[in-house]
Amino acid sequence: MTVLATATMTLSELKLHETAYVDSVTAGPHGSGLVSRLHAMGFLPNQQIRLIRKARMNGPLQVKVGSTTHVAIRLLEADMVIVRPVLMPNSESETES
């Protein structure tokens, strides 16, 4: 059984290769337009996401959203995404397709 943290954090605070579930997307400096864009890209409540890699020089994050979408997102925008990290995953190993 997957165990989630009770406390939320932002996507930008997530550690590399860590998995989390989206809690909500807050309206940042860019207003509701960006919120709906992020929703359309898959940052929907209860969607599973995973931090795949960070670009160098504090560049954008590569986030896997669900099982088939990859999104590049800057740290500033990643701050808008509130997540609950997974404390105990239900499976240990990755499955190859």
Partner 1 sequence: MSGCATCRHGCHGPNVKLDISKKPAQRRVAVIGQPNCGKSMLFNRITKAGAHVGNWPGVTVDLLQARVDVDGITAEFVDLPGLYDLEGYSEDEQVVQRFLERTPVDLILVVANASQIDRQARMVYQVRQLGIPAVVLLNMADEARHFGIQIDTSLLSQRWGLPTFLISAKYGQGFDEAFAEVAHELHETQRIQQPLIGMRERLAEHRPSDQEIYSVLDGAVTMPPADQVSRTDRIDRWVLHPFIGLPLFFVAMALVFALVWNIGLPSQALAGWVTEWMQTYLIEPVIAPLPDGLQDFVLNGVWNGVATVASFVPLVVIFFFCMAAIEDSGYLSRAAFMTDAFMAKLGLDGRGFVMQIMGFGCNVPALMGTRVIRSRSMRLLNMMIIPFSLCSARLAVFVFIIAAVFPSTYGWAVLFLLYVLSFASAFLAALILQRHKHFASVEPFVLELPPYRLPTIKQVLWRGWGEVREFLRRATNFIILGCMAIWFLTNYPIGAAGINTWGGQIGQWMAPVMDPIGVVDAHLTLALIFGFIAKEVVLGALATIYAMNEAGVAQAIGHALTPADAIGFCVFTLLYTPCLSTIATIKAESKSWGFTAFSLGFSLMYAWVMAYAFRYLAIAIGL
| Residue from 3, 26, 74, 87 binding partner 1 (CB under 8 A) | 74
| Residue whose C-alpha is closest to residue 61's, from 86, 41, 87, 79 | 79
Q: Provide the minimum distance between the beta carbon of 71 and partner 1 in the complex, in angstroms, as a whole number.
A: 6
- The total of other beta-carbon atoms located within 10 Å of residue 39's CB is 14
Residue tagged 């925008």 (tokens): 77
| By CB under 8 A, residue 17 contacts partner 1 | no
| Residue from 5, 10, 18, 48 binding partner 1 (CB under 8 A) | 48
What DSSP string runs through 68-85?
Answer: TEEEEE-HHHHTTEEEEE
Residues forming the site for partner 1 (CB under 8 A): 19, 28-30, 33-34, 36-42, 44-45, 47-48, 50, 52-53, 55-60, 62, 64-74, 76-77, 91, 94-97
